[in-house]
Structure 1
């Protein structure tokens, strides 16, 4: 998910002006020649919990064994908060690996150096569409793609087959399946204790806006329209059909889990994991925990059923960011070249218990083959053929937050005819935010 909105600081902006160069030979906004490496270990941070941090550590050990370059790695769960603290002391870590959606926020704060993608070994093995997601409002490149993933729909296969129902191919069929899971005792325990969908409907960190985006796109709507040249316009009013379908799920008893309107992902996901809901739209990062809790054969992974337009789903991922404090151009290039190489990508997939590379950005690496798991082919196909990312050049966090708050208000009142008016208010809020970022068309 996106990082929390951070306040622009003079200190962070000053870092850009004072920073040393990386791959371009100069810092963002600076003509100072690149500093020579100081011989100290290069400091790399990633937003990672314990399992992911273990994978990163193993991956960087392999890197050091190959290159001799020492890495001081830290997995930092509250990464953005810690970056603010380091920015205040004018000493950011050298490299940060974090969400691709963080780019707009980081560039607005002056955290990052520009990158010359042509100097990245193997840059042509990374799709142009992924490089486009590392471009700032000024047209410069501020990151290197590292990992991508997209949402897929996971369904309790055993429940569906017990009820004799088909794999859903449309939103309408998905909703009917959710109702059946809530009303027909699919687990056979004789109790009315199962529900349809797992939904993170909370406004916290914009969760509802994040989850709902796929269904809005599938029905021809969106929060924003990209007008080109770094400019956008609000377009939430186009999402009426998608919001209507979403509201129907919240307002049909049992189609969403209890407390969905206030549930963050940490609260919502256990409903699927513990056998209380039968449908979840989520990323492949949950495969391991669901396999352990439910059994790999208990649920199936499919591309999202189609709405009135298509089956577009949200794509996310991680970029490698070079900070304004970085004064180690040679070491940095070696780190980046390794991370996007076939060996580095495979290490990120297999070196530990939890992959930190989900779908590789290197076109020479096949996730389904590396994992020996056909479910990853579903993820890869969805990513390639039917996915869409939030705009990364702008700070999308407040827009996602505004969407979550507007949608939560709309779906909370099942008796109100409030969709059109609620989306009109959301458009106004989005336009105001775009204007504040100088990104409004």
Structure 2
């Protein structure tokens, strides 16, 4: 199972640039803009279009697409990270591997990697590259860098190229969650990048509950938020592990509140995203009254010892250790919790059982999971590149090879599952992630488990299917795959959200505004400190109103004015 990265706090933490950057760029040969030489002379009208780069791109692109393969081949330069999970064998390298050979064999595209560095070095190198103005033909950047390059006039307009040359499979992938991803890559009506989409909806939080503790306390599975709160209290006070001590907690809480989005969403509170208010204006979710109600409930739970009193000093890894040690019985997390941290907990205590449930509403209105834009970063093309459509060819190859392939041979050649220790799929030079890939995989696997018909399974599907069969035969090391993919388990909850469209979108879908960059750090710190003090009881719940006032005074008013001005132009 492979997944895209899950965007955490687009609005408040957008200034932390390194968290988003995985590829960057620099070029020592920018004059070689992607054509090896002979193609230009064969292109009708090329001489009269030499001083019109947009016309030249369209004319040459049409010629290239007719043949399906560039002849003679073109060369595109790029830069990237060097993934430490990729092992080169048989003389392969970052310059010459199964992906680069496939691009050349199928499309006549030679990819030349100018440099590849560890991800920890990318941010500094990319900023220097942008400052130098010397960039490669195509590369991947974060939202801030995308905006900088576009404003500097260094990027190609991909509008016509995308409309004419993007395959249906590529367009389907990029618009699976709607048009917001493409909208975020559009500046002044021009598509200036191809968004690297990731599955934000599929990664919505759900609530995982220890069902062996439910059985021990003779409690039914929850159907309402009241049921859930009674379970949390029982897990904290009724000795569910029968060790004679009151040393367990109902709800997992970490110092950064990464494990609480689902809880907040149950109260119709949406921290760290921008939502519409009752008047249709954009506002920040963490400052709404619903957040105050959620914090009041958390303070109540803290007072009744349902939350670890030391949560304010524990990051998510420390909380996961407590779960593995059998100290917490309920956790909000994404569908892949089975792999981490719950498989480690199961390994330590084989009697432990968990089950995933949808988030539950505090009232009669449906609970909706907050979702971010669903864009990890952006693929950009240098303005002077003669064949910008080439990146769409490579993206099409990615989709059909990574998602549509049913051949075991091709799977082993290009993908190589992570459990085999060599993530060859990371060598691709152009990619984006499907929004609901794992949900769809789960549905196919469920059908195969029910019918014993495996002909529609992809090679990756078959790998998960076989793991579940091993679990069903008693192999607990594969317990997590069953928790994730089987009927009624985690991805079934994700599919319930999808089927019923139970999402609250982040309405802010553009590159960061200057007011956000300037004010976000202070506002983020204020929010974290205030929420922690309220939950711990160090500040009364009324402090939330003071927080909102200070948030607005310390830059929030400026941010909201800018965000709403942007929203008017978007509409």
- Normalising to structure 1: TM-score of the pair? 0.72
**Residues 83 and 92 in structure 1, CA contact (< 8 A), matched pair in contact too:** no
Q: 1:427/1:291 Cα in 2 relative to 1: closer, same or farther (>3 Å)?
A: same
Match of 1:301 in 2: 356
1:188 is displaced (CA, Å) by: 2.6
Please say if residues 198 and 280 of structure 1, whose CA atoms lie closer than 8 Å, have aligned partners that are also in contact.
Answer: yes
Cα displacement string for residues 57-111 of structure 1 (whole angstroms, at most 9, x for unaligned residues): 99x96644643455757662675555334434445673338xxxx54x3443336
TM-superposed deviation, 1:226: 4.6
Is 1:198 matched up with 2:255? no
Specify the SS of the correspondent of 2:234: helix
Aligned in 2, Cα 1:182/1:79: closer, same or farther, shift over 3 Å?
A: farther
Once residues 342 and 302 of structure 1 are traced to their aligned partners in structure 2, the CA distance between those partners, rounded to angstroms, is 33
Q: Give distance in 1, aligned partners of 2:170 and 2:432.
A: 19
Shift of 1:140: 4.5
* CA gap 1:364/1:378 in 2 versus in 1, 3 angstroms: closer
The CA deviation at 1:147 is 2.9
**Paired residues for 1:29-48 under 5 Å:** 34=57, 39=75, 42-45=78-81
Per-residue Cα deviation, 1:180-200 (whole angstroms, up to 9, x for no partner): 222222223333332222223
2:371 corresponds in structure 1 to 315
**Which segments of 5 or more consecutive residues in structure 1 lack a partner in the other structure?**
23-29, 203-207
> Whose strand fraction is larger, Structure 1's or Structure 2's?
1
State how many pairs are aligned: 407
Which residue does 1:386 correspond to in 2? 502
2:527 equivalent in structure 1:
406
C-alpha RMSD of the superposition? 4.6
Cα offsets for 1:107-149 (capped at 9, x unmatched): 4333676544433221343345343134236454443354302
Name the structure, 1 or 2, with higher relative contact order (CA <8 Å, separation 6+): 1
Q: Does 1:5 align with 2:41?
A: no
After superposition, give the CA deviation of every residue in 1:12-64 in whole Å (9 maximum; x if it has no partner): 9xx9xx99999xxxxxxx95955998626643449x8x56x68xx99x96644
Helix, strand or coil at the partner of 2:306: coil
Which residue in the other structure is 1:26 paired with? Answer: none
- Per-residue displacement from partner, 1:372-412 (whole Å, max 9, x unpaired)? 42232322432452223433315378669736632541441
Q: Is the 8 A contact 1:218 1:311 kept in 2?
A: yes
Change (3 A) 1:315 1:410: closer
Map of 1:248 onto structure 2: 297
Matched, 1:84 2:127: yes
Task: Kindly report which structure 2 residues correspond to 1:8-407, keeping only aligned pairs within 5 A, or say none.
Answer: 34=57, 39=75, 42-45=78-81, 63-64=99-100, 66-68=102-104, 70=111, 76=119, 80=123, 83-90=126-133, 94-96=138-140, 103=143, 105-110=144-149, 115-116=158-159, 117-118=162-163, 119-121=165-167, 122-126=169-173, 127=175, 129-136=177-184, 138-141=188-191, 142-148=193-199, 149-202=203-256, 208=257, 212-222=260-270, 224-226=274-276, 233-234=282-283, 236=285, 239-253=288-302, 254-295=305-346, 298-308=353-363, 309-316=365-372, 317-319=374-376, 321-323=378-380, 325=382, 327=385, 329=388, 331-341=390-400, 343-344=402-403, 351-353=417-419, 360-361=434-435, 366-368=440-442, 369=444, 370=461, 371-372=464-465, 373-374=485-486, 375-383=490-498, 385-390=501-506, 391-395=508-512, 402=523, 405-406=526-527
Q: Cα–Cα, structure 1 residues 95 and 299, in superposed 2: closer, same or farther, change >3 Å?
A: farther
CA contact (8 A) 1:144 1:319 kept: yes
- Say whether the 8 Å CA contact 2:295–2:531 is kept in structure 1: no
Change in 2 beyond 3 A, CA 1:212/1:153: closer
